[in-house]
Structure 1
Amino acid sequence: MLSLSVNTLKSLSPSIHNHNKFLFSSFSYNLHQNLHKPSCIKPISASYIPASTPPSNPQQLYQPFRPPPSTTLPSEYRSLDTNGRIGILANRLGLWKPLGYSAVEQNRLVVAAQVRDSLVKSNTDPEVLSAFDTGGAELLYEIRLVSATQRAASARFVIENRLDAEGAQDLARAMKDFPRRRGDKGWESFDYNLPGDCLSFMYFRQSREHKDPSEQRTAALELALKVAGTERSKRYNFEGIGGENRGNREAKKRALKKGFGFRAEERYREILEAPFECRSEGEFGVVVSEKGWKRWVVLPGWEYVVGLGQGGVVVSFADARALPWKVNRWYKEESILVVANRGRKEVSADDGFYLVEVDGSDWGLKVERGSTLKGMGVNESLGTVVLVVRPPKEKTEDQLADDDWE
């Protein structure tokens, strides 16, 4: 570094203003003199100020070792299978890179192992844990976002619904985001403790991003209805299908038939909202229900009625045309009661009878054989029919025969 000083014959004023003034006039005078007189040489002194010396022992920053990329395994590892490589890593006998694991795969495996350990500590069902014995690291890695208490439920949901890595990621993000959405439209209709409801709420919010009606909105609501875990959330998604104004009936029909069987639009709500459990208490056998209901019917203690347990419901029809009759007989016109089990919705038996909804039906609901529903591609119903009750009569000569049914 250089410092420059100029020796003059006049003393400088301590004032900054005068000092600047002097320098300017002196410069002008010298310039004028140079034009008429030979230039005079003034002595100039210079001194060297060395820069600050660097520290004797500079701090060395840590630089991790990054080996060059390689696609071939060393000869000592080529004969090992996957379990052999993992054994070397578990015993710290080798490095990740020579074994052919990239940094992304290494991180995924380590995090997945930690998530699985948390599932073991939370006493997760052994059947769920066994699903990850031979793979699934990419699934466990995605549910790392949820808390340890939610991982067991989310892991079960992933296995039961056969989600891939992207689906598991959507599920984890939906569960993580659900508490933050308090106050959003429909939030209170979904259960935070159920992974399916959290994912359903995410699809429901995505449906609101599309105009009504539109195919994108209906598709998102179909997904929301498919993964919903409670009847309340299913009902809320069902009401959203076809638009806020409930004007698109065909869109609702199409969405409900896809993967869910036939469901009535009006009477479907009644079947869902009917109490699932009622019992008698006390010495007088007072009937107690889980919720209030307007219409009740008393049936004898038949074996099929007593064996229903929870989920039983009785549906009344104005006439018997709702049943799959084989011949046209006079008793088609009498009213009937259909007792169904809502706990058994899967269409499994070909010779069984199931409560469903059929387009063009005057009642919205109808009883169909399992073989007929399977031929239509329906795998789920509103409930399995266990009993059909006719009005009480004194004469019993008109009992139905087996060949009266289709």
Structure 2
Amino acid sequence: MLSLSHPHPHADSTTPARHHRRILPSPLPHHHHHHILRRRRRFANLTTSAVILGPDGNPIGGGPRDHKLPFAPPPTAPPDQLYQPFHPPPSPLPEKYRALDLAERLAVLRDRLGLWYEYAPLVSALSREGFTPSSIEEATGISGVEQNRIVVASQVRDSLLSENFPDEMLPYFDSYGGPELLYELRFLNARQRADAARNAIDRRLEPRGVRELARSMKDFPRRRGDDGWGEFDRDSPGDCLAFARFRQSREQIDPEDAVAELERAMQVVETDAARARVEVEMERARRKAAGEEIDDEEASPELARPDVPVVRLMYGEVAEATTVLLLPVVRETEGVEAMTAAPRRTKTDVDLGLVEVDKGWTRWAVVPGWGPVAEVAGEVVVIELADGRTLPWRSAEEERVLVVANRGRREVVESGIYVVEKEGRLVVERGRKLAEQGVAEAAAEVLIVVRQPKDEDDMISDDEWD
């Protein structure tokens, strides 16, 4: 029984009143005294304490002087039931496994009772209950690698269901080799997984083939700007794989190996534009394998290698260079007027490294003292391009590049590379194209194209696939 008692007993209480009397230091006016009494009564009315009474009506836990409630334990729940305020997450187990006890669940895994994607959730459930991969392996015989594979593969399979994957195709992955196939699709998004799964079924791929397909699909968007990239369809798994083999053919030293890679690309290519591009490349490779002299521009003049050096700076290269050049920089958006107004060198003191220019400037680039550039340093200007893919040969990646150009040579010849202005922007064009357009004079002739330093060029991180 719970009742409330006043902490300040009245005069007739057994507790002496002197324990609750306050002595004012000095008499106060009547109105002040009345105010204090009223305030005291107000606080007295608000101050209460609790007393726990036993069955016989006597206080428990120290009587009225104990103003704290004793600790009350939380209500106990019936056996095998959770305390109601806690709401557990939904069970990841299929309905038919929820009634099984621990021994029965381990038996299902140990004896592989059912299809692999049906008992795969049991592994996740055991992990949530505190089991480690090694303890699960000890109890069921399923290695930690296989545990991870079937759990991930079951998640991939679930994503196929969400993408309306044809039901008649799903049984292809029901066999014990299904997890190895689906596991290789784990780094693709849901739509790509569905497309890759269809392609794997149509071509009866093994895990190694599915891995190559998945890598090519994931890598394809990163290759934008590479030679021939635009002729392949990113939404076609076959085109992505064909482009990967197309690129590999160019990395082969032996022409016969290049032809073999292109033949493998022809086996999987799906779109007409991509097939035509592979056929052109294959014809060149076969002629080269036969010993014929091949011009790089025969296949596609717009995709051929440039006629000017394209270099990538190394970290520390400028600091280690014997001589360096300080060159004015112009942004591509500033147009020919800014390039013409960029300062020109008027005097150089080689011994002390002093350089004089004819006007002030705010942006400068420091590059190694390359011979072709140093010879005409007085007329050199650097154009900063925000995206190297705008170069006419499209072999640069999506990165900033510096185009070092000579303003002293402006006459257009077909074999040269030049800087011109188009719609207020500075662009790089081939001399052949400018000549076809009737352009006889450009803003400057390109001497060299400089790419920024990079730690790993054309590499894929191992941990991305493992």
TM-score range, shorter chain: 0.3 to 0.5
TM-score by length of structure 2 reads: 0.35
Q: TM-score, with normalisation over the residues of structure 1?
A: 0.39
